[in-house]
């Protein structure tokens, strides 16, 4: 049985070590399976049931990373294990104005073109440089 299955079965049980407050119960629902497993392993580490080396094998990270995770888990609790990248937009995201302009131009002038030819025409005639993959399929 996976670690996540155990959490699912005990989600209503507030006596589980991960669930110290009602906020922790709600936070756990927002955590990935990987983050829940990390919390379980770090709880066992804190209780000296396993070593850092064993924890690193179970989580799949180095022992140094286990020390970092453990320190952050002690300081911040479950919040420390949740990915800081979650909910943020990608740095590689297309500028909304360029995207809208490209979609409008393709819709009006290049509706029957394939993505490669539409991309070439956008670059050649309108000066809009995009990758072929970012051209929406018509």
At 20, the pLDDT band (50, 70, 90 cuts) reads low
Whole-number Cα distances in Å, 123 to 100, 110, 130, 135: 15, 13, 8, 12
- Please, what is the Cα angle at 133 between 130 and 138, to 5 degrees? 95
Q: Which of 119, 121, 138, 118 is nearest to 130 (CA)?
A: 119
**Cα separation, 110 vs 114, whole angstroms:** 8
Q: Tokens representing 111?
A: 């509706």
**Cα separation, 3 vs 22, whole angstroms:** 20
Give the pLDDT confidence score for residue 11 in this predicted structure.
41
Q: What is the pLDDT of residues 65-108, one digit of tens each?
A: 999 999 999 998 888 888 777 777 878 788 888 888 888 999 89
Give the pLDDT confidence score for residue 66 in this predicted structure.
94
Model confidence pTM above 0.75 = no
Q: Tokens representing 46?
A: 């804190």
**Cα separation, 49 vs 118, whole angstroms:** 61
Q: Tokens representing 25?
A: 């119960």
Give the residue, 14 or 45, on which the prediction is more confident: 45
On average, the pLDDT of the chain sits at: 78
């Amino acid at each position: 049985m996976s670690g996540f299955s155990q959490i699912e079965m005990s989600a209503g049980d507030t006596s589980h070590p991960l669930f110290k407050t009602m906020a922790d119960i709600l936070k756990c629902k927002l955590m990935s399976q990987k983050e829940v497993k990390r919390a379980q392993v770090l709880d066992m580490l804190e209780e000296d049931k396993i070593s850092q080396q064993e924890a690193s094998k179970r989580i799949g990270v180095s022992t140094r990373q286990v020390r970092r995770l453990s320190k952050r888990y002690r300081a911040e609790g479950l919040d420390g294990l949740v990915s800081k990248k979650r909910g943020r937009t990608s740095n590689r995201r297309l500028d909304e104005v360029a995207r809208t302009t490209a979609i409008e131009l393709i819709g009006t002038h290049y509706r029957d073109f394939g993505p490669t030819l539409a991309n070439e025409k956008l670059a050649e005639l309108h000066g809009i440089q995009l990758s072929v993959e970012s051209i929406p399929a018509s």
